[in-house]
Amino acid sequence: YEPENMSSPLIEMTHADIGYSEIPLLHNANVQVTPDTRLGLLGMNGAGKSTLIKALVGELGILTGTYRVSDTLKLGYFNQHQMDALDAVATPLQMLRRLAGKTSDAELRSFLGSFDFRGDRIDTPSELFSGGERARLTLALIVWQRPNVLVLDEPTNHLDLQMRQALTIALQGFEGAVVLVSHDRELIANVCNELYLVHDGQIDEFDGDISDYGKWLAEKRKQESAQDKNPGKKKSKKESKKFVSRETRDLQSESQSATTAPKGKADAKPALSKDEQRKLAAEQRKLTAPVRREIETAEKNLAKIEKSLSVLEDKLADTELYEESQKADLLVLLDEQSALQQQHSDNEETLLLSMTTLEELEANFE
């Protein structure tokens, strides 16, 4: 189910201001999507990643600049809205049949099986599905249509670990372009070879990998914390965007070592005795203990939130809840779901920062 026709570029946005009601939120955006694009969009919550996505897929018109798409563009767009728009009374087989024409039931069932729809679930109305099942079904319907550009806005929010791994493998093998927004750093690291940062109304190429982004986030939080303590001291735009990639830092470090190390002397450290190794290991455990506790807390929080979301999704699957008399109860549950999803996003970001900090600390002992 790979794309059939592609030309380059498939999507091109140049010097674009993007926003709502004539008020730009993002300025001078320059993004080009070619058949080889594997682009991950990074940025804090609320920075404008979803706004950029909507402009890229043509759902939101740009305010200024140019936006062009290829005649061969065949877009596959995944977001929460696509999940909510599924036909509630139709089954996965019925929905896929509408797209598949004369394709045999056996082939359709085999395809749905690759998205973990088997047995009775293939013939179950989607209104009875959990969030994870709706996400998988939405992805299945998108993939069947053989897009040449996949634009995915938080595709893993409702997926379990097994399906996240399956999605990663599928995207790695996909022959079209991919534009991805996700808090799943493993997904971005394994799928994307190009990263853009959305921050302070700007979209810039990010010179680093997903670990560098974790360090960037940590630095931003430190700056914001310092700004809260010293509200009179404002950061310059240049300072707020300052970033040095890991590769650049490594080269600088190597250069400094080469110019400062005495000639003719080996840099190798003497071997440590067993007692020294034990002391070093104890020191490492003590130094990294607070960060490990942060990671453990974030993971426990995520597990609790995911369990609460699962229970909530079961409640939202009750068809009686969508009757007019139950509207007030439905709105309360939807608000609760939105709050839990935000907590999930915040804890994933905390987990990312803590794991990056731990990597840095452990590297110091190597």
Q: Say if strands 75-78 and 149-153 run parallel, antiparallel, or are unpaired.
A: parallel
Mean pLDDT over all residues of the chain?
81
What per-residue confidence (pLDDT) applies to 262? 43
What per-residue confidence (pLDDT) applies to 138? 92
Q: How far apart are CA 179 and CA 182, in angstroms?
A: 10
Q: Once rounded to an integer, what is the mean pLDDT over residues 136-164?
A: 88
What per-residue confidence (pLDDT) applies to 284? 73
| pLDDT tier, 303 (very low <50, low <70, confident <90, very high otherwise) | confident
| pLDDT tier, 123 (very low <50, low <70, confident <90, very high otherwise) | very high
What per-residue confidence (pLDDT) applies to 37? 95
Name the region of 15 (left: φ>0; alpha: ψ -120 to 50; beta: rest). left
Q: Quick one: which H or E segment has residue 195?
A: strand 194-199
Give the lowest-confidence range in 5-19, 22-36, 66-80, 260-274.
Answer: 260-274
Interior angle at CA 89, CA 84 and CA 91, nearest 5: 90
Q: Say if strands 38-42 and 23-33 run parallel, antiparallel, or are unpaired.
A: unpaired
> Please, are residues 18 and 25 in contact by the beta-carbon 8 Å criterion?
yes
Give the lowest-confidence range in 76-80, 302-306, 357-361.
Answer: 357-361
Name the region of 129 (left: φ>0; alpha: ψ -120 to 50; beta: rest). beta
| pLDDT tier, 209 (very low <50, low <70, confident <90, very high otherwise) | confident
| pLDDT tier, 264 (very low <50, low <70, confident <90, very high otherwise) | very low
| Percentage of residues of the chain with pLDDT beyond 90 | 34
Q: Once rounded to an integer, what is the mean pLDDT over residues 171-196?
A: 90
> Please, are residues 215 and 360 in contact by the beta-carbon 8 Å criterion?
yes
Structure-token pair, residue 68? 């062009």
pLDDT digits (tens, 9 = 90+) for 342-353: 787 778 778 777
pLDDT digits (tens, 9 = 90+) for 31-81: 999 999 999 999 887 788 989 999 999 999 999 999 999 999 999 999 888
Helix axes 327-363, 210-229, angle to 10 degrees: 100
